[in-house]
Amino acid sequence: MCVINVALFGCGTVGGGLWQILQEERERIIRRFGVEVNVAGVCVRDIEKERAADLPRTLLTDDPSVLLSDPSINVSIEMIGGEREALDVVTLALEAGHHIITANKLIVARHLPALRRLERGFGGTLRYGAAVCGSIPVLKIIDETLTVDRITAIRGVVNGSTNFILSRMAEGVSRADALALAERSGFLEADPRADLSGADAAQKLSILAAHAFGVHLPPERIATCGIEEITDLDIARATSRGETIKLVAEARIDSEGTVVLEVAPRVLALTDPLAQVQNEINIVELECERAGVQRYTGPGAGSLPTANAVVTDLLDLVASDYSSAGRGLLVEQLRPWSALIAA
């Protein structure tokens, strides 16, 4: 049986969920794929910090170079958050021709063209399905749709945190209490401003547009307005009219062929499909030339939905290499760094 050694960078909310899933699903993965996923090391900022995940202390290090230089590691998974440290890990992995999975929407949205160049130049693999809409495999859907169809517009509620807050406010919960509840539930980013300002949604929209239209627009260049100015009174007025307010991300091709991206609160009729998703649920609506309008929904925030998307990326990587050629191809494709560099 082939063993895939995995290194985790970061073990916060998502990392803890990932560890849980990999332990619980170990036997099922072995039966289905004929491989064992072994977490060989975990890099954290503070080894002494208490964690929800029951990680063996022997796996922990606070030095990223220990794992980045380990020739036995086959796949790295970056869940550090932020930009600089996370980008360094992903860049070093790709420069080594390594397989790297990230849930970091910020670095993908800002640096996708450069990361793709590293992939092509060094032969590594970058996967980031978990960076957009949590449990919804929307990037895979878009990529597969484009093989036979053309997407002309995208519309969606892609930030589960703000949707949770707005849902609570629509029920009569005050803005302050809704925000506190979202934080206690683990739905908010480490810096809540990323959610509330619309920046998180803009980052996801940037990635969606890159896949749907082949155009990279950094999130800072996307017209963005968050929910910071939405008050309890605004919600009450919308409710009294039989409407609701959602933070909507939109991408479309205008009459001149230009890709237009925007994130902003929208007042929606309750009959609008986007108005009907509540709590931390996301919805993405794809308008296609042949297939018409397609809608996909699922949890977009929280430990396990995001961690599950990371595992899906990992197993997609395994499945893509596990062909009729047998396990030998899998081992060849998942060789450690030292072999990849020498090849």
Domain 2-134+304-342 -> CATH class? alpha beta
Domains 2-134+304-342 and 138-300 share a fold: no
The pLDDT assigned to 38 comes to: 94
The pLDDT assigned to 328 comes to: 37
Q: Which residues are catalytic?
A: 204
Question: pLDDT, tens digit, for every residue of 68-98?
Answer: 889 899 899 999 888 999 999 999 999 988 8
Interacting residues of 323 by C-beta distance below 8 A, sequence separation 6+: 329
The pLDDT assigned to 248 comes to: 98
pLDDT values of the chain reduced to their tens digit, one per residue, 343 residues: 788 999 999 988 888 889 999 999 999 999 988 899 999 999 998 888 887 678 888 999 999 999 988 989 989 999 988 899 999 999 999 998 889 999 999 999 999 999 999 999 999 899 999 999 878 899 999 998 888 899 999 999 999 999 999 999 999 999 999 999 998 887 887 778 999 999 999 999 999 999 999 999 999 999 999 999 999 999 999 999 999 999 999 999 988 889 999 999 999 999 999 999 999 999 999 999 999 999 999 987 777 888 989 999 999 888 876 433 333 333 333 333 333 223 3
User: Considering the entire predicted model, what is its pTM?
Assistant: 0.88
The pLDDT assigned to 51 comes to: 78
Please tell me the CATH superfamily of domain 138-300, with its number: Dihydrodipicolinate Reductase; domain 2 (3.30.360.10)
Average pLDDT, the chain: 88
The pLDDT assigned to 145 comes to: 81
Question: pLDDT, tens digit, for every residue of 83-137?
Answer: 999 999 999 999 988 899 999 999 999 999 999 999 999 998 999 999 998 788 9
In the chain, domain spans: 2-134+304-342, 138-300
